[in-house]
């Protein structure tokens, strides 16, 4: 398998270097390519055999496991031509919950996404329940063969263009314990509305979704009541792996660009490349990328083998995002005022990496969870 992984890396690296990085000057103020350019490069991705990489082959994808997907995420993250939170350049991205659907649910919700007829969004975060899903207030009360849903979800990516949402709700139980449950809710259902959009420093604009007495068929429930956290875990684990793999790709791109620049730029009569501070930054970037890659590969292999790897994903999320930002920040410093201009890709990498220390689990929450595990082990 190692030879196959390296062949995949080479294919992706060549595609990014030849087809994507040269397109970066065409990006608009929102970080988007012209429609015609986007369509053309999508055709090239399909021809290169990297279309719907994480979708099983029987459903029309490449069928990469997580050990291969972390290579995919690392390599495509070396360019700002692929938005950090939107990989649609490589085809529909249904996510693990939709890919696990069967029967009528798969026909109605999964298959249209794979055909490119609609998109979905994952709605868990709330105004008062970001890092703690058990604190969510969005409720679904059973009423015959329907649930009645009320609540608000915030910072939901792609909600404004989604045909339906994968919504985590709290179902009341007689014992008083919340039963977090996943419902598939069509966005055109009466009572569903986009309440706000929040423009972020990353350039995207996630939405706030309001649910007011929304009637959802029980048939739209994914799994049993109370299985929502387990279902979401697959999505969240992938997200944490993606964060760390992306950090490695960003570090590599920023360090490579800086190394090339350092031979051209002269300061106080000598090439910037001769400065020890720059040399140590490049060395630290190399060390960081190697360490992150090993951590990511280990966690991906564990998840592919059916192991939990929960603590491992906490560690790689915290270490990858924080280290990625630290290295990018140090690289940017060497460009001086030039690094602050919007003409330089490093300013976009800087904004993205700073954002990632908050999104999909702040690094402080990751550390809190790791410490809780360590303390529990000591107490036992």
Q: Tokens 């026909």 — which residue?
A: 107
Cα–chain center distance at 103: 28
pLDDT in tens, 227-264: 998 888 887 888 899 999 999 999 999 999 999 999 99
pLDDT in tens, 253-304: 999 999 999 999 998 999 999 999 999 999 999 999 999 999 999 999 999 9
What's the half-sphere exposure (Cβ side, CA atoms, 13 Å) at 144?
3
Structure tokens at 43: 């055709």
- Residue 163 and residue 112 in contact, taking contact as beta carbons nearer than 8 Å: yes
* Inside any domain, residue 115: no
Both 81 and 152 in one domain: the answer is: no
- Per-residue pLDDT band for 84 (boundaries 50, 70, 90) equals confident
- Among the candidates 93, 109, 135, a domain finishes at 93
Both 330 and 283 in one domain: the answer is: yes
Q: How far apart are CA 261 and CA 251, in angstroms?
A: 15
pLDDT at residue 203 is higher than 90:
no
- Residue 33 and residue 42 in contact, taking contact as beta carbons nearer than 8 Å: no
Sign (positive or negative) of CA dihedral 379, 133, 352, 69: positive
pLDDT in tens, 85-112: 889 999 998 999 999 999 999 999 999 9
Give the domain extent around 160.
120-225
Question: Could you tell me the CATH number of the domain that includes residue 134?
Answer: 2.40.110.10
Sign (positive or negative) of CA dihedral 368, 374, 377, 379: negative
Q: How far apart are CA 359 and CA 361, in angstroms?
A: 5
Question: Could you tell me the CATH number of the domain that includes residue 87?
Answer: 1.10.540.10
Question: Could you tell me the CATH number of the domain that includes residue 322?
Answer: 1.20.140.10
Q: For residues 209 and 177, which has the higher predicted lDDT (pLDDT)?
A: 209
Segment (H or E) for 44: helix 35-47
pLDDT in tens, 13-25: 999 999 999 999 9
Both 257 and 197 in one domain: the answer is: no
Q: How far apart are CA 43 and CA 54, in angstroms?
A: 18
- Among the candidates 206, 225, 244, a domain finishes at 225
* Inside any domain, residue 156: yes
Q: How far apart are CA 378 and CA 185, in angstroms?
A: 43
* Inside any domain, residue 152: yes
Both 156 and 233 in one domain: the answer is: no
pLDDT in tens, 302-318: 999 999 899 999 999 99
Both 320 and 359 in one domain: the answer is: yes
- Residue 262 and residue 271 in contact, taking contact as beta carbons nearer than 8 Å: yes
* Inside any domain, residue 113: no
Nearest Cα neighbor of 172 from 210, 139, 146, 149 is: 139
Both 366 and 304 in one domain: the answer is: yes
* Inside any domain, residue 77: yes
Return the pLDDT at 131. 67
Both 138 and 237 in one domain: the answer is: no
Nearest Cα neighbor of 78 from 11, 13, 23, 153 is: 13
- Among the candidates 210, 225, 240, a domain finishes at 225
* Inside any domain, residue 111: no
Domain count, the chain: 3
* Inside any domain, residue 52: yes
Both 191 and 263 in one domain: the answer is: no
């Amino acid at each position: 398998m190692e030879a196959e992984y390296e062949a995949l890396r080479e294919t992706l690296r060549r595609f990014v270097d030849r087809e994507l990085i040269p397109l970066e000057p065409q990006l608009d103020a929102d970080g988007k390519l012209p429609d015609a350019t986007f369509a053309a490069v999508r055709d090239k991705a399909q021809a290169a055999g990297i279309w719907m990489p994480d979708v099983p082959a029987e459903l029309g994808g490449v069928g990469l496991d997580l050990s291969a997907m972390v290579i995919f995420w690392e390599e495509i993250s070396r360019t700002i031509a692929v938005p950090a939170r939107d990989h649609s350049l490589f085809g529909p991205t249904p996510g693990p919950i939709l890919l696990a659907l069967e029967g009528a649910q798969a026909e109605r919700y999964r298959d249209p996404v794979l055909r490119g007829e609609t998109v979905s969004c994952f709605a868990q975060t709330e105004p008062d329940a970001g890092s703690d899903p058990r604190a969510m207030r969005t409720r679904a009360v059973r009423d015959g063969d329907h649930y009645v849903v009320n609540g608000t979800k915030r910072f939901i990516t792609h909600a404004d263009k989604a045909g339906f949402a994968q919504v985590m709700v709290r179902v009341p139980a007689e014992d008083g314990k919340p039963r977090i449950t996943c419902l598939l809710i069509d966005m055109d259902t009466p009572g569903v509305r986009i309440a706000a959009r929040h423009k972020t420093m990353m350039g995207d604009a996630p939405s706030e979704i309001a649910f007011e007495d929304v009637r959802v068929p029980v048939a739209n429930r994914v799994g049993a009541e109370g299985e929502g956290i387990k279902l979401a875990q697959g999505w969240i684990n992938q997200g944490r792996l993606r964060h760390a793999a992306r950090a490695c790709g960003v570090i590599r791109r920023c360090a490579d660009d800086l190394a090339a620049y350092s031979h051209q730029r002269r300061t106080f009569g000598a090439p910037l490349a001769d400065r020890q501070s720059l040399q140590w930054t490049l060395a630290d970037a190399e060390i960081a990328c190697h360490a992150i890659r090993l951590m990511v590969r280990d966690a991906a292999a564990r998840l592919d083998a059916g192991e939990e790897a929960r603590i491992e994903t906490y560690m790689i999320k915290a270490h990858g995002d924080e280290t990625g930002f630290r290295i990018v920040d140090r690289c940017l410093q060497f460009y001086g005022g030039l690094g602050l201009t919007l003409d330089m890709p490093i300013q976009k990498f800087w904004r993205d990496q700073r954002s990632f220390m908050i999104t999909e689990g702040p690094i402080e929450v990751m550390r809190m969870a790791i410490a809780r595990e360590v303390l529990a082990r000591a107490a036992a």
